[in-house]
Amino acid sequence: MLSTSAPQRAMPFASLPNMGEEEFVRWVDLLERRTGVLVPPGRKSFLVTGLRMRMRETGYDDFQTYFNEVLNGVRGAMEWATLVDRLTVHETRFFRHEPSYDLIAGEWLPEIARPGSSGAIHAWSVGCATGEEAYSLAMVLDRGLRSLGDHRMYFGVTATDISNAALSVGRIATYPRERQAEIPEPFRSEYTELQGSDSFVISESLRKRVGFALFNLLEVARAPLKQLDLIYCQNVFIYFARERRRKMLEALASRLKPGGLLVLGPGEITGFTDPSLTRVGGRQTLAYQRLG
């Protein structure tokens, strides 16, 4: 809620002004500094549409006044928390990049869950959006561990994102029915249940293994998560400036335990090397394992 001194009258969308170049640069810079997400000039309309939508809801009719409001102390921080959801892309799918899940199930997991092994596998879905990636990971880990048999291993997935609205969808774990087809068999039958005629829900046993939390990736150096077995981060760094990607990746990789796996999206970065990591998997994947 904005304070009572803030404008509250909903503006007609079309009557909101166009954004000048200087104004655009100011917003791009704010978003980049706070989230890492870089909006190139070709995506100006995405930024302007997101801002206009939110300005219309809160009754602002010029970008400069709204910009000042967003910078305005606690009130501005609360407004930013809502706005950031409108200025970030949450496009996602279950099993979005199948070769990455095949790598986890077919190569990495059998090495980690050898007969007689015990303990827990801690996975982190970074930039999880509305949860599809985290649940896909949980399905692969659950089924994979069961199929490998002779061990006593538990697993949990922590799913984080900068958007509270996206995380809420993940927590509810209910998705439109047509999206169920994204989940390949046998995972679909085992881990999803129809709910009414229009939606499906992730099974309770799997939901218990996935926890959602608000977390800004730019603060990775302060993340409480460490000694992780698996970090899965796809379609997040592609929105970041190239100069930022390497540093952020090094910081993420430092959160892995020896033998831990970092799985990125294939287009996330080129030519990344780190002396503590070795590249694993084939050409279709971009994954690194921490040396022991």
The footprint of ligand SAM (CB under 6 A) covers 35-37, 88-92, 96, 127-129, 133, 161-163, 166, 216-218, 234-236
Cβ-proximal residues to 243 (8 Å cutoff; 6+ apart), any chain: none
CB of 275 to ligand SAM, least distance (A): 26
How far is 239 from 251, CA to CA, in rounded Å? 17
**Cβ nearer to ligand SAM, comparing 36 with 260:** 36
Shortest distance (Å) from residue 114 CB to ligand SAM: 29
Least distance CB 13 / ligand SAM (angstroms): 24
Sheet holding 199-202, edge to edge: 174-176, 199-202, 192-195
CA torsion sign, 220 to 223 to 229 to 235? negative
Q: What is the C-alpha to C-alpha distance for residues 90 and 99, in angstroms, rounded to an integer? A: 21
Q: What is the largest CA-CA distance in the chain?
A: 67
Nearest to ligand SAM of 220, 277 (CB atom): 220
List the one residue out of 76, 151, 135, 113 whose CA is nearest residue 229: 113
- For 177, half-sphere exposure in the C-beta direction (CA atoms, 13 angstrom radius) is 7
* CB closer to ligand SAM, 31 vs 145: 31
Nearer to ligand SAM, 127 or 260 (CB): 127
Q: How far is the CB of 205 from ligand SAM (least distance, A)?
A: 23
Q: Cβ closer to ligand SAM: 56 or 90?
A: 90
Least distance from ligand SAM to the Cβ atom of residue 128, Å? 6
Instruction: Indicate the residue type of 80.
Output: W
